[in-house]
């Protein structure tokens, strides 16, 4: 028996597992990769299953898998006016379409003072390119912590890195690894 890192149960308990399929990845603010070095797949809240919208703001973990879309690349303007290239996953390597652990943030990103609720998934893999326009299958298997405000970017990054460590540890454990099926 390994010592539990947190008070997270040893297997999903209701309302988990919650699964979402073929959710399109949209452009966020572009801060995840450029400012934090932690890219996230932003998903449209209105395309998510109701059980996911009922979750309180906070940080969660589960599994995720990208699906490539057969679509010609296009460029779209992000809210801040910056051009974003949608490649629909066609630029990624075949082996990058497998199931990875993920940590997910639901909330208003208090550190950045967002006005709208954002749901973003950090897939735990260093992808060879961007994944805008690809689709995402993912599940939510448990809760890690509430969304917090931070005084520095470094403190936010440190906590996300801790979330990743906790998420990976839980997902490798017997009670959660069984849900690696999307």
Binding site for ligand RBF (CB under 6 A): 28-29, 31-32, 36, 38, 40, 59, 103, 105, 109-112, 120, 122, 147-148, 156, 160, 163
Size of the site for Mg ion (CB under 5 A): 4
Nearer to ligand RBF, 41 or 134 (CB): 41
**94, 120, 154, 174: the active-site residue:** 120
Residue 12, contacted partner among Mg ion, ligand RBF, none, CB below 5-8 A by kind: none
Number of Cβ atoms within 10 Å of the Cβ of 160: 19
Three-class SS of 66-94? EECCCCCCEEEECCCCCEEEECCCCCCCH
Query: Where in 11-40 is the site for Mg ion (CB under 5 A)?
Result: 28, 32, 40
Tokens 């996953």: give the residue. 89
Nearer to ligand RBF, 134 or 160 (CB): 160
Sign of CA dihedral 114, 115, 117, 121: negative
Nearer to Mg ion, 35 or 181 (CB): 35
Tokens 């997910």: give the residue. 104
Shortest distance (Å) from residue 149 CB to ligand RBF: 6
Under 8 Å CB-to-CB from 156, ≥6 apart: which residues? Answer: 36, 111, 150
The tokens for 114 are 């967002």
120 in catalytic set: yes
For the annotated catalytic residues, the residue numbers are 120
Per CB under 5 A, residues contacting Mg ion are: 28, 32, 40, 42
């Amino acid at each position: 028996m390994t010592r539990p890192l947190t008070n997270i149960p040893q297997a999903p308990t209701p309302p988990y597992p919650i699964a979402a399929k073929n959710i399109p990845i949209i452009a966020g603010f572009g801060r995840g990769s450029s400012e934090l070095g932690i890219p996230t797949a932003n998903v449209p809240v209105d395309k998510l299953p109701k059980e996911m919208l009922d979750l309180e703001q906070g940080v969660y973990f589960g599994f995720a898998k990208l699906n490539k879309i057969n679509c010609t690349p296009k460029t779209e303007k992000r809210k801040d006016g910056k051009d974003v290239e949608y490649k629909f996953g066609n630029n990624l390597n075949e082996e990058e379409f497998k199931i990875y652990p993920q940590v997910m943030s639901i909330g208003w990103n208090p550190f950045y003072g967002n006005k709208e609720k954002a749901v973003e998934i950090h897939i735990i893999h260093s992808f060879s390119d961007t994944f805008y326009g690809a689709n995402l299958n993912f599940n939510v298997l448990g809760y890690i912590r509430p969304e917090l405000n931070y005084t520095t970017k470094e403190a936010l990054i440190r906590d996300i890195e801790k979330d990743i460590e906790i998420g990976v540890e839980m997902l490798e454990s017997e009670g959660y690894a069984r849900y690696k099926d999307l």
